[in-house]
Structure 1
């Protein structure tokens, strides 16, 4: 993998998701600056994703419940079909200080997601009718799980983290279980946020990374972990890091790293962190409309106890 840790892999692509599929291709999707569509790229190596041609698989309609602000798509493969989970809003109306996003999914039954037809499945209902976003899925011990961020009106802040078991790739089998709320100072700078969860299962643990605070230089990442034989729907199974595990490197000018996904290097062994960050702090206006959150990739490490070590954005 020939990548510079100091330079972005792909410019102006926030909330990046890279998956290595069984066909040997790396698949990439992310939020585009216009927030109006879902695009895919693929390449045989991670470095080649930088020059891979984007392919639009879905565009927002002109009106309706999912016609605005298409955020944070993630590509997954379940049961022989492709799925992209994403957040969308009906309008840009603000309620309770938040856009009114809900989670949706599109699917493609073809083995080749670039050739097959993508269809909208609809909303992923979770029983909580409030702002939600940033869903991910993972399979563990034969069960499919759904992890996402959502506003709970009785709890201060923008969003908390929840988990549920899935009956199908687009329907839940259990009620939402709250895993984490913004509580530490590093989670509550600018906004009270836990969002952007991503899952990595290694070395006897299930890890859930997430992002916190406002989407400027204060944006950073936290970590939950549970034993891989624990009941993942029991909040008591999870341990939360009291400190951020990944944050701004002021010396190297990589600001607000977060909203990550995990993948593996071409060697099939090295775990990689995929995340976005900015290269400056002087944001004019709302950071949401600043397009310069870029996709970065770096290697992860492990300590002697089997704990995930993120290091700094500029370190291998």
Structure 2
């Protein structure tokens, strides 16, 4: 026999279910913050650009950018027209070292440059030999060459080791031109197989793979903020609109949160080979900012926005304290300005995971 519910009781049941559902929904909506709207990717980006990317480098050719960072066992390039969108790109491996030999291990800090109509990559590497304290003691600088119009294509050929007369441990090589002369700058030890103080050296170049004569020491750790690890490394040169030369470098050990960027300024009409013509800034120009999620910012490079109206710096930093020289270091970029005296003003490291306007003129 079918039993039908009393209409009045049925309506009461529906009412209680509706009330319970509404109250439950209100409770859940108050248990956490409202998810903010997703930033407009057409106009903004967030740092870091990648989860990992120590020793980042950007070379700009018009509105095309070539990006690289330390991969350790190979060298790769990313070709893009939107450097802020690296997360959407993939590396093209352009060179893999032999399994053994003096440049087979620990490939660090590659830099791409276009010189005399050809492409060159400068990188540090060694044979894997370590000192008792774990230091990789046989690092030297090496050079690859490619004649193709696009460095992600063609054939990369090893030109060999690039070293001055005094051939010592060397990393973080870079190239700049001043008054028609090419110069090579890098970080090295004063002695042989002596993991002590790292200093920045300079030498003239006779061609993209050969140095002229011996090295000259430009700077060593002298200020307190440079002394936590006794390191000066990662040199890179930038010029202002008037042609004034600035050498931006990393100081203190990358294994510390004291790692920071310093600045040397070449005197007007100064000789880059004369250490006395370089003036060292007494304080860091970019340093750790815990509130912004940037610990140990360093190893810089520079580029302009696609439309040429903005100057940008790229560097790596750790997202939390005490992470050292590991793959947790991630690439970040930010726009910078110039002070009235002509020096670059990098400000503070921009806050991670916060929308930032993309470089002006970048493809959307």
Find the structure with the greater CA-based Rg. Answer: 2
The equivalences for 1:172-191 within 5 A come to 172-189=211-228, 191=229
Q: Displacement, 1:97?
A: 6.7
Distance 1:3 1:148 in 2: 35
Name the CA shift for 1:95/1:128 in 2 (closer, same or farther; >3 Å).
Answer: farther
Aligned to 2:89: 52
Alignment partner, residue 303 of structure 1: 339
Whole-angstrom CA distance in 2 between matches of 1:21 and 1:272: 15
Of the three residues 281, 287, 290, the one matched with 1:250 is 290
For 1:131-174, what per-residue CA distance to the aligned partner results, in whole angstroms no more than 9, with x for missing partners? 11000001122111111111002999331011111000010124
TM-score (normalised: structure 2): 0.80
Partner Cα distance (1:298, 1:74) in 2: 20
TM-score (normalised: structure 1): 0.92
The Cα of 1:228 is off from its aligned counterpart by 5.2
Q: Is 1:89 the equivalent of 2:126?
A: yes
Matches within 5 A, 1:75-154: 75-94=112-131, 98-99=135-136, 100-153=138-191
Q: Which runs of 5+ in 2 are unaligned?
A: 1-41, 357-364
Pairing 1:164-243 to 2, within 5 Å after superposition: 164-189=203-228, 191-202=229-240, 203-215=242-254, 216-227=256-267, 229-243=269-283
Q: 2:52 aligns with which of 6, 12, 15?
A: 12
Question: Is there any run of 5+ residues in structure 1 with no aligned partner, and where?
Answer: none
CA offsets, 1:56-94, max 9 Å, x none?
Answer: 011122110011111000000001110010000112312
Size of the aligned set, in residue pairs, is 307
How many Å separate the matches in 1 of 2:208 and 2:133?
Answer: 30
Which structure's residues are more often strand, by fraction?
1
Q: Secondary structure at the match of 1:49?
A: helix
1:28 and 2:28 equivalent? Answer: no
Quote how far apart the aligned CAs of 1:3 are: 4.7
